[in-house]
């Protein structure tokens, strides 16, 4: 069992993570300058707790699957530098979905003025962010139709904004693939939906809604089976945490398998 001890003051958060059977300190640190002004200041306690969890995740003491996914996408970007035919789209959630390892390999696409405090903005960036899910969906559909590849990252709760767009695109793909033999194959429409299944430590609870799969044409019966399997797994996971005080090993030690 692991126990996280926090000492939250008015302008700092001190923390230690203990392994209870040996009382060994697995990780310790402090987040200070909360509420102050300046380049290294922390906006509020919410951001401070986010930094605590980020440190625990990066050190490997707490599992965080989307961070692992971010490192995989970073490596994809690095290998794609010559071909330049892969992009990641998302409604301003790359960092909050813990995919910020991407910015070790590329930047956000940006062609306007930059201001002090802006980070990872570049005309050559391969990450496209805008707080508009339907715009991201349209971007990705169009990008794929040019023969290129991409991924749309979004919270489960907000992906329903593009339900009808996705359905229309899926119907069109089915028609063109079976009735237009001369059309070249189109790359898959890839989604990363976070909060419930792909967990991230930022706002994973408040943004849960694993119902997008119900909107996929032809998947109604299979979707019900998959969702029940997810529920059963979550019950088992909760029971394991209650008993051991930490994530199941398959979550805590998850690595990208390819």
Residue 258 has pLDDT above 70, yes or no: no
What's the number of domains the chain is made of?
A: 2
In a domain, 202, yes or no: yes
In a domain, 257, yes or no: no
Q: Are residue 113 and residue 233 in the same domain, yes or no? A: yes
Q: What is the mean pLDDT of residues 94-108?
A: 90
7, β-bridge pairs: 14
Burial of 73 (0-12, 13-18, 19+ CB in 10 A): buried
Packing angle, helices 133-145 and 163-179, rounded to 10: 20
In a domain, 258, yes or no: no
Q: Are residue 79 and residue 185 in the same domain, yes or no? A: yes
Q: Are residue 194 and residue 77 in the same domain, yes or no? A: yes
Domain closes at, from 36, 58, 80: 58
Percent of the chain with pLDDT over 70: 86
What's the rounded Cα separation, in Å, for the pair 28 and 16? 4
Q: Are residue 28 and residue 148 in the same domain, yes or no? A: no
**In 10 A of CB 114, how many CB atoms?**
10
Q: Are residue 159 and residue 129 in the same domain, yes or no? A: yes
Q: Are residue 47 and residue 169 in the same domain, yes or no? A: no
Q: Are residue 16 and residue 102 in the same domain, yes or no? A: no
Dump pLDDT digits (tens) for 112-155.
998 888 889 999 999 999 999 999 999 999 999 999 999 999 98
Domain closes at, from 58, 79, 103: 58
Q: Are residue 20 and residue 110 in the same domain, yes or no? A: no
Whole-number pLDDT of residue 176 = 80
What's the rounded Cα separation, in Å, for the pair 35 and 121? 26
Q: Are residue 166 and residue 141 in the same domain, yes or no? A: yes
Whole-number pLDDT of residue 103 = 94
| Structural domain harbouring 185 | 65-252
What's the rounded Cα separation, in Å, for the pair 34 and 46? 10
* Per-residue pLDDT band at 79 (split at 50, 70, 90): very high
Q: What share of the chain is helix, strand, coil (3-state, %, to 5)?
A: 40, 20, 40
Classify 182 as helix, strand or coil.
Answer: coil
Q: Are residue 156 and residue 54 in the same domain, yes or no? A: no
109, β-bridge pairs: 122
**In 10 A of CB 151, how many CB atoms?**
19
Closest CA relative to residue 215, chosen from 250, 174, 165: 165
DSSP letter for each residue of 40-103 = T-B-SHHHHHHHHHHHHHHTTSS--HHHHHHHHHHHHHHHTTTT--EEEEESS-TTTTT-GGGG
In a domain, 238, yes or no: yes
Residue 257 has pLDDT above 80, yes or no: no
In a domain, 215, yes or no: yes
Q: Are residue 124 and residue 176 in the same domain, yes or no? A: yes
Of residues 40 and 112, more confidently modeled:
112
Query: CA 88, 89, 90, 92 torsion: positive or negative?
Result: positive
* Per-residue pLDDT band at 52 (split at 50, 70, 90): confident
In a domain, 46, yes or no: yes
What's the rounded Cα separation, in Å, for the pair 126 and 106? 6
Burial of 165 (0-12, 13-18, 19+ CB in 10 A): middle
In a domain, 40, yes or no: yes
Domain closes at, from 22, 42, 58: 58
Of residues 210 and 156, more confidently modeled:
156
CATH of the domain at 202: 3.40.50.970
Q: What is the mean pLDDT of residues 93-101?
A: 85
Percent of the chain with pLDDT over 90: 29
In a domain, 157, yes or no: yes
- Go through 21-30 and write b for each residue having 16 or more CB atoms within 10 A of its CB, e for each that does not: eeeeebbeee
Q: Are residue 128 and residue 223 in the same domain, yes or no? A: yes
């Amino acid at each position: 069992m692991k126990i996280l001890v926090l000492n939250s003051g008015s302008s700092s958060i001190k923390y230690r993570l203990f392994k209870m059977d040996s009382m060994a300190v697995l990780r310790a640190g402090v987040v200070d300058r909360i509420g102050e002004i300046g380049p290294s200041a922390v906006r509020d306690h919410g951001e401070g707790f986010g930094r605590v969890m980020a440190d625990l995740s990066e050190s490997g003491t707490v599992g965080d699957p989307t961070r692992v996914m971010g490192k995989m996408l970073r490596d994809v970007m690095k290998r794609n530098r010559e071909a330049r035919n892969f992009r990641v789209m998302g409604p301003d959630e790359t960092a909050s979905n813990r995919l910020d390892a991407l910015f070790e390999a590329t930047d956000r696409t940006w062609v306007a003025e930059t201001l002090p405090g802006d980070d990872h903005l570049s005309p050559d960036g391969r990450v496209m962010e805008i707080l508009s899910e339907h715009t991201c969906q349209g971007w990705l559909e169009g990008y794929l139709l040019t023969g290129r590849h991409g991924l749309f990252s979004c919270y489960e709760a907000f992906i329903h904004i593009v339900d009808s767009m996705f359905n229309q695109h899926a119907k069109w793909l089915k028609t063109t693939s079976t009735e237009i033999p001369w059309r070249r194959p189109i790359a898959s429409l890839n989604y990363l939906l976070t909060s419930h299944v792909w967990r991230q430590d930022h706002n994973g609870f408040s943004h849960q809604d694993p119902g997008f799969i119900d909107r996929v044409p032809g998947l109604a019966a299979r979707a019900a089976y998959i969702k029940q399997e997810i529920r059963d797994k979550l019950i088992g996971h909760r029971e394991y945490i209650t008993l051991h005080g930490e994530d199941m090993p398959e979550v805590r030690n998850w690595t990208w398998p390819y």
